[in-house]
Amino acid sequence: MIDFPTGLIVSAQALDGNPFRNSQALALMAESAAIGGASAIRANGADDISAMSKRVSIPIIGIDKKKDPTGRTVITPDFEGAKKIYEAGASIIALDATFYPSDIAEDRKELIRRIHEELGIPVMADISTFEEAVNAAKMGVDAISTTLAGYIPGALHTDDELYVPDFTLLSQIVAAKLPCKVVAEGRIWGREDIREAFNIGADAVVIGKAITNPIAITRYYNSFIPKKDESGYVPTETRNPRSDNMADGPSESILRIIQREDATVPAIVKSCIPQIAKLVDAGVESLKKGGRIIYCGAGTSGRLAVADAAECPPTYGVSRETITAVIAGGEKAITNASEGCEDNREAGIAAFENLKCTENDLIIGISAAGRAPFVVAFMEKAGERGCKVGAIVNNLDTEMSKLSDITIEALTGAEVIKGSTRMKAGSAQKMILNMFSTAVFVKMGYTWQNYMTHMKPSNSKLKKRAVAMICEILKIKKDKAEELLVSHDWDIHTSLVSHKNNNK
């Protein structure tokens, strides 16, 4: 009996009505997948398998799909079909091992035994639940695949899950350490899906539509095109169907659900780059006029703003007045949640007046919902004073966006935990603030290419970093670099300029 293949398995199938519903065409598809490095092919029916077996030398996982009286498709329900596809060239048989009943399905345990003993080839069980996986392992299968998760009547995947693999189920099966190979299959579309499946512990991953079905591939890519009359926008306060029942799974499953949602954030931030660039240019313009960059936020948004503003002086050597942050509730709100303070409009007005803002200042309001009264009031006063006003929000058409000259709408959608905008919304805000402040100070000349040459070496670690920086930039020895820095009171930028001028 052959060993069950590991790595990437490609399913080359086509339903009736698909132009590729042709055995020779599918055989070419299988051959292409084999050339590309597939470890095995999954195929349906004797005709397709026979055509493929003439073109590929890698194992073929054969299935024999039949419809029962209810109209449901059952995968290899009997030995007759298994033998037929074996004789056509299948070297592994996959069969339906779900608990869902069917009048045409033979006893699974007996079917598995006969395939092993009479055909002498491995068996893969297509399952939809963890209990079915355990049962299949007890029946002696060689591999278990999550093929049917989300495809069994009464437990169908939602439209939102069309391109979302069931990695919670995969994690449960891997954790159980069943005595057979584990295969991830079903709704796998991207490289991150493949990487995650193997990181979880899958021995093999099956990809079907995403490689061999041009109709499905085209629909997949079309799904990313914004509709003219439909933004696809989901407010941050919406309940997330992808994290339903997350508390029922093990710790690793919960973490994977969170990570899958977090993984959507970079692409959302990427789409905001044109607006972030406008805000950067506004920030540079304000600083060149002698103005300041002032963040204003509440709750998580305020704490992220405070952190970004606080990190700029040591990183770029700017004064603490150059870039600063105001948070609803004041300093105590940084370490102690004071979420009620965001409703205080009067406090927002007072905070603005206290800063003595001028028309040269850039004011940036930050709020996931885009309506925190403290921030809104601060922004209103900024507009009245003639300041340039920006907004970083995570909802569409917010009150804050109406008050700003430049709005960044990072539409991160429903959180894993309903309304917990410290998660995806907070991650997007953190990324945007990092990008904004970094780009501003790079354009203002506070770096030497990508070196932090205006940082203040205030401790031994930073002094070592300064020495290494001088060595790299000037291509001089460590002792010479340290001597140069000491002679200029550990001012990296001045040391560089001095050395360059003296060695013209």
> Which residues participate in catalysis according to the annotation?
311, 342
Contact yes or no for 283/362 (Cβ under 8 A)? yes
Query: Rounded to whole angstroms, how far apart are CA atoms 230 and 215?
Result: 23
Query: Rounded to whole angstroms, how far apart are CA atoms 324 and 310?
Result: 7
Contact yes or no for 127/185 (Cβ under 8 A)? no
Query: Rounded to whole angstroms, how far apart are CA atoms 385 and 307?
Result: 26
- List alpha helices for 89-160, DSSP H: 108-114, 130-138
Please name the residue that has the structure tokens 């299968």: 141
Query: Rounded to whole angstroms, how far apart are CA atoms 290 and 341?
Result: 31
Please name the residue that has the structure tokens 């590929």: 56
In 3D, which of 141, 192, 197 has the Cα closest to residue 166?
197
In 3D, which of 412, 456, 146 has the Cα closest to residue 269?
412
> Which residues 6+ apart lie within 8 Å of 441 measured at CB?
312, 315, 316, 318, 447
Per DSSP, the three-state class of 158 is coil
Between the alpha carbon of residue 451 and those of residues 101, 118, 161, 171, the distances in Å are 66, 69, 44, 43
Which helix H or strand E contains 286, and what residues bound it? helix 273-288
Tokens of 89: 């060239």
Contact yes or no for 271/264 (Cβ under 8 A)? no
Query: Rounded to whole angstroms, how far apart are CA atoms 400 and 420?
Result: 20
Tokens of 288: 């060149």
DSSP string, 163-180: T---HHHHHHHHHHT-SS
Give the sign of the dihedral formed by CA 446, CA 451, CA 454, CA 455: positive
Contact yes or no for 31/55 (Cβ under 8 A)? yes
Identify any residues that bridge with 366 across adjacent strands, giving them in sequence order: 297, 392
Phi, psi for residue 301 in degrees, rounded to 5:
-60, -40
